[in-house]
Structure 1
Amino acid sequence: MFDFKDKIIVVTGGETGIGRATVESFARAGGSVIIAGFLEDEGDDVVSSLAKENLKVEFVKTDVQNEAMIEDVTARIVAKYGRIDVLVNNASIFDGFAGVNETSAALWDKVLNTNLRGTFLMSRAVLKNMMPRGTGTIVNVASVGGIVGGADGLAYTASKFGVIGLTRQMACDLTAKGIKVNAVCPGMIQTEMRKHSTRILADDAPPMRGVGVNPDALKRVPAGSKGQPDDISNAIMFAASPYSGYMNGHSLVVDGGWTIQ
């Protein structure tokens, strides 16, 4: 269905979970995919796994909290490939459902700096290439936790509400310039985000509550089960494709019906 042949796609956090599924989908659709990721072992695993399918994917170590590193990484990608056609801002860390009294300033800073500031910095860097060409697509991975309260912890919720606001304002600024900006909002998806977040947050990690399938939580979801990473990668592919050409500044919810109630 989707054809990304000859397209250059950058996926932040593309080494695990939703990001990995997204990288695999774009690569199998013919795209040249660069993982801008933090976890090197996982990134190398994606590259070697897809190499067995004769698909070329590159991993570039990137900390989306680091402005200088982002500028360097994007410049090197453009120097090598000539352009960036699609940016997927997927890099995120979770806060373990920490409430206001459980959220340290360090946890707040790392979650907001990764999920929201990182999305802004990466978009701004890539737009230096997209805007002079008058074409490009940005897809931001937000969350159901950016639409309703009570889905996640304080910092994560604030960050994802921010990503949706960022998406809308960027679309207002950029649509007339030929650049499409949308968001995808996953609901409960089966990933190892809590484990990877604990590793990235290190000493600032809170207890990661909610590991596994919580029957009470699933009562919120008419589908009755968690979604899979491919459910979100399919939505990201749609948002990045010509099929969504008239969709701008939109937050596409993929949550098994959670938020329809």
Structure 2
Amino acid sequence: MSWVIGALAVTLGIVFLWGLFAPRSQWRTLSAWLVSNPGAHEPSGAAYGWRRFLSGVGVLGLLVVAGSAYSADLARQPRPGPPVTAVEQMWGSPTPTLVDRAVSPLDAPPAGFVDEPILGFQRFDDGRPEYLRALSAFSILGDANMPGYVGSPGDGTVSPVGASNLVVNVRGPLLCIPRQVVVLESETAIQIAVYYGLRDPLTGAAPDHVAGCPLEGVVTSSVLIPIELSGPVGERVVQNLAGNAVPEVAVVE
């Protein structure tokens, strides 16, 4: 149906433009055959002027209709979202929060927690990126010091992130917290695992972390966890405990 309307508009546009710039030619082509003596019945100059005026009004009307249709089509187009920040280019949306704590890694997997996949890492061989200073600290419902939360907050004067050699990115269930980190270093590889669980209860038995923090959780939060190594990453590969390489994320300024 839209092509029919478009063809009709083009046809009317041609007729109106013809009448605007060559009203005499239009009359001779479209109307002269209706009379036996076209020369004797040719319209006056005033009639041609009126035809020219009406054709001009028709052209303007078509332009107004076309402009309105174009504006309406633009309004229906999906509007672009807000500009993607450098942090979102690196780690995706929403912006991750930071585990601003001194993490003491284990050298063996702990029992009873959930091994969350590591989605990427970023090295600090050339100094810590400035964007980390602007990230919000990880918390749940405003609480940034949950019982069982991995690491320690330090003395409050210097961010523990300053001593780290890299950060890893994980997405854990919304109401669960990073509980433990495992780091195994060698001359050629750095193997890392991050374990999630529920916070420790103030009283009573420990909760079932595996049941409470399913890997298939629909609602998750993105977290960056700083890790201090025995030395720079250098040429070593970063892997999970299964030996699979973890993607490296370049710094975007």
TM-score range, shorter-chain basis?
Answer: under 0.3
- From the two aligned structures, give the one with the greater helix fraction: 1
The structure showing larger relative contact order (alpha-carbon pairs under 8 Å, at least 6 residues apart) is: 2
- Give the TM-score normalised by the residue count of structure 1: 0.23
- From the two aligned structures, give the one with the greater strand fraction: 2
Bigger radius of gyration: 2
- Give the TM-score normalised by the residue count of structure 2: 0.23
